[in-house]
Amino acid sequence: MSRKKVVVLGSNFGGLTASLAVRHELHGDVDVTVISPSDHFVFNPSLIWLPFGKRRPDDLSFPVAPTLETHGIEFVHRAADVIHADEHRVSAGDRDYAYDYLVIATGYKNNFDVAPGLGPGGNAVTITSLEDAIKAGERWRAFLNQPGDVVVGATQGASCFGAAYEFLFNAAYHIKKNKLKSRVKLTYVTAEPFLGHFGIGGLPHGESLLKMFLKKEGIEAVTGASVEYVDTDAVHLASGQDLPFRYSMLIPPFVGQEVVAKSGLADPKGYVPVRPTYQTTDHDDIYAVGIAAAVTVPWQTPTPVGIPKTGFPTETMAHVAARNIASQIKGEEPADEKPFEDIKAVCVMDAGNNGVIILADKMLPPREHGVMIPGPQAHLMKLGFEKYFLWKARNGYVTLP
């Protein structure tokens, strides 16, 4: 019998983990090809530091081809254009790639359409990609020469609230460090219904903790906000409130990549509906993991908020998918299941020289346990985790925690 062929779309958290894990599960007895327009892995959690000059692009990224090739995986540096699900092949540029099993790990792109003036190249900056974070740094340096008010936040429909808070507290830290505190009014504007919601419904004492942190730093907050448009010098809210700024960083909502919608596999937000096995709802041989996988928002908030599909759940989904593909290749049922809501929440939020460790037994409520542990150890933990994760990913050690 010929070796089975697994094609993985995407080479970041989900794609790197799934491709290496499926090879591992089958002791190398499978052909794996990764197709991706990014030839570098980017450790997004460190993008919050790049605008402040604490990281350079090379510090938080590495080329993926050597990692994959060392583990016997073929890397194709191009974007997938369309998935022909009924014919089990993917078109990418001028070539087609046949597969027995496909993993979609194409992640997200920014949806700037929610408010004029957001971007690309808008009046506010963002940090949701390496290119965006580089531009955010250029404008931060200009801001230091000509300081004024700062507005940081996340728009309606955003999901990556953790990054907005991290940027906020890092901005506060650097404003103080540059002795600008008396000249800068710092405002946090968010779609969250309350501080510390994070898009996961909040955690015990989270709101009071965040309120305390903001008060200590003299940061004003506007919750439940909807951005109407971003002018050159002010964020205008649908409520009529204006938030003037010299510098603004806003996290926009994410949507899935075009290839998914173009292939008829997407929900209205461009994400792929999946079963708890991470097989797509309609195809037993196609999986979707990480941000590309659709997750149902279990609540309605006055202003829409998305759900953050962070690194740990992304890796978990990728491992579940890899185990199930291995089972299918061995002629077994794909029986491994881990619905998104039941995956543990594990996150470290940095605040410059301080931070918060966030732990919960489940990503989404109802939960039995959830805790937020503030303190400088969180900052040190994030520094240590960054080094560990990049070492682990660069070497392809996906079986390590």
Ligand X SMILES: Cc1cc2nc3c(=O)[nH]c(=O)nc-3n(C[C@H](O)[C@H](O)[C@H](O)COP(=O)(O)OP(=O)(O)OC[C@H]3O[C@@H](n4cnc5c(N)ncnc54)[C@H](O)[C@@H]3O)c2cc1C
The catalytic residues are 160, 347
If binding is defined by CB under 6 A, does position 257 make contact with ligand X?
A: yes
- Other CB atoms within a 10 A radius of the CB of residue 278 amount to 33
Whole-angstrom Cα distance, residue 244 to residue 171?
17
Segment near ligand X (CB under 6 A); pick from 29-37, 140-148, 149-157, 329-337: 29-37
Q: Which residue among 65, 79, 180, 209 contacts ligand X (CB under 6 A)?
A: 79
Segment near ligand X (CB under 6 A); pick from 53-61, 235-243, 288-296, 358-366: 288-296
Whole-angstrom Cα distance, residue 225 to residue 222?
6
Looking at beta carbons only, is 7 or 243 nearer to ligand X? 7
If binding is defined by CB under 6 A, does position 44 make contact with ligand X?
A: yes
Dihedral angle over CA of 117, 118, 124, 125, nearest 10:
-140
Site mask for ligand X (CB under 6 A), range 338-367, x = bound = ---------x--------------------
Whole-angstrom Cα distance, residue 382 to residue 169?
14
Nearest to 71 by CA among 396, 398, 389: 396
Nearest to 84 by CA among 285, 271, 270, 281: 285
**Phi/psi of residue 285, nearest 5 degrees:** -105, 5
Q: Which residue among 155, 314, 316, 324 contacts ligand X (CB under 6 A)?
A: 314
Q: Give the rounded distance of the alpha carbon of 30 from its chain centre.
A: 29
Residue 194 vs residues 202, 211, 342: alpha-carbon distances, Å? 8, 10, 23
Looking at beta carbons only, is 218 or 374 nearer to ligand X? 374
The distance of closest approach from Cβ of residue 264 to ligand X in the complex, given in angstroms and rounded to an integer, is 15
Within 8 A by CB and 6+ apart from 356, the residues are: 209, 348, 349, 372, 373, 374, 378
The distance of closest approach from Cβ of residue 266 to ligand X in the complex, given in angstroms and rounded to an integer, is 12
Segment near ligand X (CB under 6 A); pick from 32-40, 193-201, 240-248, 358-366: 32-40
First to last CA, the chain: 34
Using alpha carbons only, give the angle 344, 349, 350 rounded to the nearest 5 degrees: 155
Q: Which residue among 4, 6, 7, 9 contacts ligand X (CB under 6 A)?
A: 9
The distance of closest approach from Cβ of residue 157 to ligand X in the complex, given in angstroms and rounded to an integer, is 15
Looking at beta carbons only, is 189 or 234 nearer to ligand X? 189
How many CA atoms lie within 13 Å of 342's alpha carbon, on the beta-carbon side? 7
If binding is defined by CB under 6 A, does position 14 make contact with ligand X?
A: yes
If binding is defined by CB under 6 A, does position 127 make contact with ligand X?
A: yes
**Amino acid, res. 214:** L
Segment near ligand X (CB under 6 A); pick from 43-51, 53-61, 205-213, 239-247: 43-51
Site mask for ligand X (CB under 6 A), range 162-181, x = bound = xx------------------
Segment near ligand X (CB under 6 A); pick from 35-43, 192-200, 236-244, 353-361: 35-43
If binding is defined by CB under 6 A, does position 105 make contact with ligand X?
A: yes
Give the residues lining the site for ligand X (CB under 6 A): 9-15, 35-38, 44-45, 47-48, 79-80, 105-108, 127-128, 160, 162-163, 257, 259, 290-292, 309-312, 314, 347
